[in-house]
Amino acid sequence: MKRFNKFIVSSEPFIPDLLESVLWELDIKGITEEENQLVVYSDENINSLYNSVKTLLEELKKNGIIRNFEITEELVEDKNWNEEWEKTITPIQVTDKIIITQTFHQYDPKPGQLILTIDPKMSFGTGEHQTTKLMLSMIEKYITGGERVLDVGSGSGVLAIASVKLGGSSAIAVDHDEWCLENAAENCKLNNVEKQVEVKLGEISSIKENNFDTILANIQKNVLMEIASEIATRVIENGVVILSGLLKEDENDIIDEYSKYGFSLLEKGEMDEWIVLVIKKGLS
């Protein structure tokens, strides 16, 4: 029977969406997410993969995105990895109202609940991470109806989809990863919002519109710092920006940077070591 290399990857802080997107750049067969670690599978004959994984993680550490990491390796027998992965994914109750589920799970909603059907590729989040939950809780609060929304670094598209299903008039979901483009488009169809959510491949700099009522960005700190001016030029006066992918210690740096462009803090949310910041442009 064919065997595979199995790498167990953990980091501090543990940022699964980011780690997965980086690891999928390598020649691997699959990734499953477990509590506080990722399990990466590759062909047995790829002997250099350990060093490639280590190099990528060292680069993240060098850039201050993670503080440390650990990798362990073993050989395992062949399995249906997609089936194994699906076993790890279950419906998630994000708030009293918002439920994330998948086509391969049966969920009977309670009255008033909003169901988001998200079938992620193995390289993208499923809604389990704290930052996704924090973002969705604030989207539920601040999308009141009719908003034009930009979701930067959209991944599976869950935030853009939620915005429209909660009452936003339209959304653009942009991500530089081609896997995200395909996955977000599929999820828009699953949720019947493909006419309201436009999925684009690119960076925020490729978005020409500058009249968004709400901008969402669940990305690591260094990227949020770099695109502050881009966000400021695309949100309307008195518009709302919701930011996460942030640790508690990132708050002051983010607030200081965005205040340069006329933003003030409206609200902060916390979950474990993660935070979400809601800021408003032009608030006195």
Residues 41, 81 contacting (CB under 8 angstroms) = yes
**Token pair of 280, please?**
């408003």
Give Cα separations from 80 to 40, 49, 87, 123 (angstroms): 14, 21, 11, 17
Average pLDDT on 134-146 reads 96
**pLDDT > 50? residue 36:** yes
**pLDDT > 60? residue 165:** yes
Question: For 83-126, how does the pLDDT look when each residue is reduced to its tens digit (9 = 90+)?
Answer: 666 666 678 889 999 999 888 777 887 888 999 988 866 445 56
Which is higher by pLDDT, 108 or 46?
108
Residue that has been written with the tokens 């709302």 in this structure? 240
Which is higher by pLDDT, 3 or 239?
239
* pLDDT given for residue 46 in this prediction: 54
As a three-state string, the secondary structure of 56-102 is HHHHHHHCCCCCEEEEEEEEEECCCHHHHHHHCCCCEECCCCEEEEC
* pLDDT given for residue 50 in this prediction: 83
Question: For 69-81, how does the pLDDT look when each residue is reduced to its tens digit (9 = 90+)?
Answer: 999 887 766 555 5
Q: What is the mean pLDDT of the chain?
A: 87
Q: Pairing mode, if any, of strands 274-281 and 263-271? A: antiparallel
* pLDDT given for residue 121 in this prediction: 63
CATH class given for the domain over 129-281? alpha beta
* pLDDT given for residue 123 in this prediction: 42
**Token pair of 14, please?**
């543990």
Q: How far is residue 249 CA from its own chain's centroid? A: 20
Question: What residue type is assigned to position 244 of the chain?
Answer: S
What is 3-86's CATH number?
3.30.70
* pLDDT given for residue 58 in this prediction: 92
* Confidence label for 244 from pLDDT (cuts 50, 70 and 90): very high
Share of the chain above pLDDT 90, in %: 54
* pLDDT given for residue 25 in this prediction: 77
Q: How far is residue 262 CA from its own chain's centroid? A: 26
Strand segments, DSSP code E, in the chain are: 3-12, 30-34, 37-43, 68-77, 92-93, 98-101, 114-117, 148-152, 170-175, 197-201, 212-218, 235-247, 263-271, 274-281
Looking at the chain, the domain(s) classified CATH 3.30.70 span 3-86
Question: What residue type is assigned to position 211 of the chain?
Answer: N
* pLDDT given for residue 63 in this prediction: 86
Please choose, from the candidates 184, 279, 198, the residue with its C-alpha nearest in 3D space to the C-alpha of residue 241: 279
* pLDDT given for residue 253 in this prediction: 96
Looking at the chain, the domain(s) classified CATH 3.40.50.150 span 129-281
pTM of the model as a whole: 0.75
Average pLDDT on 178-191 reads 89
* Confidence label for 21 from pLDDT (cuts 50, 70 and 90): confident
* pLDDT given for residue 51 in this prediction: 85
**pLDDT > 60? residue 2:** no
